[in-house]
Amino acid sequence: MKATDWIIENFVQNYGVKTIFTYAGGTNAFLIDAAYRNKNMEIVVMRHEQNVAFAAEGYARAKEDMGLALTMSGPGATNLVTGIANAYFDSVPVFYLTGQVVSSMYKFDRPLRQLGYQETDIVSIAKPITKLAEITKTTKQIPAVIRKAIESCLSERPGPVLVDVPMDYQQEELSDSELKIVAKKKVTKKPSKTQLSDVIKMLKTAKRPVILAGGGVRSSKTNKLLVKFAEKFNLPVVVSLMGKDAFPHDHQLFMGFIGTYGHRYSNLALANADLLIALGTRLDSRQTGNPKTFSRASKKIHVEIDEHEINSTLKADLNLKADLNDFFAGMLALKTQVKDFVYEEWFAYLQKLKADPQIVSDMKANLNPQLFLEQLSTTFIDDEIFTTDLGNNQMWCAKYLNLNAKQRFLTSGGLGSMGFSLPAAIGAHYACPKRQIVALCGDGGFQMSTAELQTIVNYKLPLKIIVFNNGVLGLMRIFQQENMENRHPTTEIGYSCPDLSKLAKAYGIKHFKISKNSQISAALKKFKQSQGPIILELKIDKSLQAYPKVKGKAIEEQVPFLSPEELKNYMLIPTI
């Protein structure tokens, strides 16, 4: 069997990966041909390699399995870099396969800048942003290298890998003994009985416990176990940006989204807790703000599979390096008494916080993003998958888009990449073709990926696209307004957005636009009922901001600031 045929068949038969996202080039042409000849592999042609990477990530996240991307060497490979970094920082298992120039024209270890046409050492470029990046130096190495890469991609904390295969090796034959190769996940160490017992002791002595659920809950596919865990121990749950869809928002234990742009009531809950259980989160600065003041009255339990993340931003009282599957299994197996986990005063306080109108953002505008997203949440109530871009739209969605247990929320977290939403939505469709995909974009991010509208039309994908159009790069414009005396170069001066109705018409996609709150209900009804791809454009004012926003010494200090007296009334611990 030729190496190209085995590579494609290996993904199909051994790992159930039956969709490959790609863009054509000389050095990946034989791999594309092998995929085309394989009756079980579907080829999706994107319009730019960065979007190839984002689509493969959207596929992996929606399917909760490995995604597959294929490009050529040189510019095809380097165009993947942003997408690879995005998958790496957000712990998404994507296999990036690149064709390289023929081995006789590749420099390998020679100190040359370049030897062959379109030759680029993508392995060295990708190593800092992958779990493994390797070039196959012989044909015989191909199965072993791919096996090792898949093991790394799927094991422990998942993440992207890259394998570079020279063009001449792709066409050579592999022997029968080299073909019988299947990768296996590594086995992780389980929490000890002593560690689980320590968790119980800390829960029993706590009066104000809270769970912080991060993206690791979804990466480990433990969202249902998280619900059981929270219910068994009667624990309120807040989520990070990457953990937004880790816990159903209509659950009585849900206490919202935390962080720099988090709900005010959620940040206050975290600030006043006396026990924080951080699950599958690296506790980055957008969650914690100042680590010295973050949840300062709480004892902390950190459960994280990546040992390098433990104690990296703040020290916990109890650290468990463990897969969340093992942690939840251990905790749920313990015999406990309900009376040991009753926090009546704490829950009364939390409900008061959540219901207080002073805590809820009030954006007065002709078209209010909060109102729109709240109505979107009551219109789409099945198992939809939502993707978002970066900017104000991402923060509005993180706060005001309410998700049930079956819905998903895919966004760019650690890297924060614009242009993510549309290609990720395409990937999500191929992972879950029977589910409705809704892509939420800002006008800036949308313009970075509009070429993929042709992909949507070409494959007749029934995607629903929402564009928050304020005609500026809103989040950065706010930063300039706050720090640069209201000067707005590049975000407003020099920036513009085309007429989206004309753009949609050019691609043959339905489009309509609203600019008033009174139009939302009818627009969403039309939007939901429409068949095929459609764009709903929201004309919103450029002055609208993604408030509240942390701009103080601690996460409870958010703009617009509460008065010292008001803040003190909400705090159960001393203010700073």
Average pLDDT on 104-108 reads: 89
Q: Distance between alpha carbon 301 and the CA centroid of its chain, in Å?
A: 24
Asked if 7 contacts 146 with a C-beta cutoff of 8 angstroms, the reply is: yes
Bigger pLDDT: 526 or 290? 526
Asked if 474 contacts 365 with a C-beta cutoff of 8 angstroms, the reply is: no
Give the count of beta carbons closer than 10 Å to the beta carbon of residue 274.
18
Residue 362 has pLDDT above 60, yes or no: no
pLDDT in tens, 507-559: 999 999 999 999 999 999 999 999 999 999 999 999 888 888 998 889 999 98
Contacts (Cβ under 8 Å, ≥6 apart) of 263: 256, 257, 359, 399, 548
In this structure, of 175-189, 228-242, 447-461, the range with the lowest mean pLDDT score is 175-189
Instruction: Characterize 7-29 residue by residue with b for buried, 16 or more Cβ atoms within 10 angstroms of its Cβ, and e for exposed.
Output: bbbbbbeebebebbbbbebebbe
Task: Please give the pLDDT value at position 546.
Answer: 87
Domains 3-179 and 369-546 share a fold: yes
- According to CATH, what is the number of the domain 3-179? 3.40.50.970
Q: Distance between alpha carbon 537 and the CA centroid of its chain, in Å?
A: 24
May I ask the CATH class of domain 369-546? alpha beta
Average pLDDT on 50-58 reads: 98
Residue 336 has pLDDT above 70, yes or no: yes
Average pLDDT on 81-106 reads: 96
pLDDT bucket at 99, cuts 50 / 70 / 90: very high
pLDDT in tens, 293-318: 999 999 999 999 999 999 988 899 99
May I ask the CATH class of domain 193-359? alpha beta
Instruction: Characterize 182-200 residue by residue with b for buried, 16 or more Cβ atoms within 10 angstroms of its Cβ, and e for exposed.
Output: ebeeeeeebbeeebbebbe
Task: Please give the structure tokens belonging to residue 210.
Answer: 């809270």
Task: Please give the pLDDT value at position 296.
Answer: 95
Task: Please give the pLDDT value at position 547.
Answer: 86
pTM of the model: 0.96
pLDDT in tens, 394-427: 999 999 999 999 999 999 999 999 999 999 999 9
Task: Please give the pLDDT value at position 185.
Answer: 60
Cis bond before residue 128 (omega within 30° of 0): no
pLDDT in tens, 155-188: 999 999 999 999 999 999 998 766 766 666 666 7
Q: What are phi and psi of 440, to 5 degrees?
A: -105, 125
- Measured CA to CA, the distance from residue 569 to residue 18 in angstroms comes to 56
Asked if 212 contacts 267 with a C-beta cutoff of 8 angstroms, the reply is: no
In 491-570, alpha helices (H): 500-507, 520-529, 564-570
Return the H-helix or E-strand segment holding 535: strand 534-539
Q: How far apart are the first and last CA of the chain?
A: 69
Task: List the Cα angle 557/558/563 in 5-degree steps.
Answer: 70
For the chain, which residues make up each domain, given as ranges? Answer: 3-179, 193-359, 369-546
Asked if 325 contacts 226 with a C-beta cutoff of 8 angstroms, the reply is: no
- Measured CA to CA, the distance from residue 257 to residue 412 in angstroms comes to 16
Residue 54 has pLDDT above 80, yes or no: yes
Task: Please give the structure tokens belonging to residue 378.
Answer: 């009551």
Residue tagged 């304020």 (tokens): 470
Contacts (Cβ under 8 Å, ≥6 apart) of 507: 453, 454, 456, 457
Residue 360 has pLDDT above 90, yes or no: no
Q: What are phi and psi of 161, to 5 degrees?
A: -135, 160
Q: What is the dihedral of CA 195, 91, 130, 395, to 10 degrees?
A: -130
Q: What are phi and psi of 212, to 5 degrees?
A: -110, 110
Task: Please give the pLDDT value at position 306.
Answer: 93
Task: Please give the pLDDT value at position 267.
Answer: 95
Within a 13 Å sphere around the CA of 554, how many CA atoms are in the beta-carbon half?
19
Return the H-helix or E-strand segment holding 329: helix 324-333
Residue 361 has pLDDT above 60, yes or no: no
- Type of residue numbered 9: E
Residue 131 has pLDDT above 90, yes or no: yes
* Strand ranges in 373-449 using DSSP code E only, listed in sequence order: 385-388, 408-410, 437-442
